[in-house]
């Protein structure tokens, strides 16, 4: 099983393009991932360009050739309960796609990132209360959940924290 996976919502965008402020926020996320020693060279994204661009940006600093894989099934929307029904098979597909990579970034839409993060924590034996606080049910664009083994961190681009 992978050591760490960062489940993120795509960067702040206008239409299907990540905006300049979105890239600035993603820069802060990239700094946080480095602080957590996440050196993902595998990015699995939805087929939306904003997700692909987000994933590419987050691994732009790696020295090895990155692996970027798009999965149409990550282009999924809905409420938490509907997404939970799709999460286990989709997560299994993500893990199979990752293969032996020790870490990865998974970029999708709206609440799917959260649902996948909590699902993998459940699979790893963590009791999850699905009545999550609002900020963890509905991630802002560019935010995500970093899962390492049985622990998680909510990463967000609060630029004030980096001033």
Distance from C-alpha of 158 to C-alpha of 85, rounded to nearest angstrom:
32
Residue 30 belongs to what domain range? 4-162
Phi, psi of 74 (to 5 degrees): -75, -10
pTM metric for this prediction:
0.89
Cβ(6)–Cβ(126) below 8 Å: no
In angstroms, the CA 118 to CA 116 distance is 6
Span 85-123, pLDDT tens digits: 889 999 998 888 888 888 999 999 878 888 999 999 999
Domain tally, the chain: 1
CATH number at residue 113: 3.40.50.1240
- pLDDT tens-digit map of 1-43: 557 999 999 999 999 999 999 999 999 999 999 999 998 889 9
Q: How many residues does the chain have?
A: 163
Strands (E) located in 13-117: 13-14, 17-18, 42-45, 67-70, 103-108
């Amino acid at each position: 099983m992978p050591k760490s996976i960062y489940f993120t919502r795509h960067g702040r965008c206008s239409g299907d393009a990540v905006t300049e402020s979105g890239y600035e926020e993603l820069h802060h996320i990239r700094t946080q991932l480095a602080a957590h020693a996440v050196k993902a060279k595998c990015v699995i994204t939805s087929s939306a360009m904003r997700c692909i661009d987000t994933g590419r940006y987050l691994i732009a600093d790696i020295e090895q050739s990155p692996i970027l894989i798009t999965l149409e099934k990550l282009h999924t929307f809905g409420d938490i309960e509907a997404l939970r029904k799709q999460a286990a098979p989709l997560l299994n597909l993500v893990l199979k796609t990752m293969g032996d990579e020790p870490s990865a970034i998974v970029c999708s839409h709206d609440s799917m990132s959260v649902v996948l993060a909590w699902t993998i924590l459940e699979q790893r034996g963590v009791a999850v209360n699905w009545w999550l606080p609002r900020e963890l049910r509905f991630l802002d664009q560019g935010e995500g959940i970093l899962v390492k083994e049985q622990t998680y961190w909510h990463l967000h681009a609060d630029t004030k924290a980096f001033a």
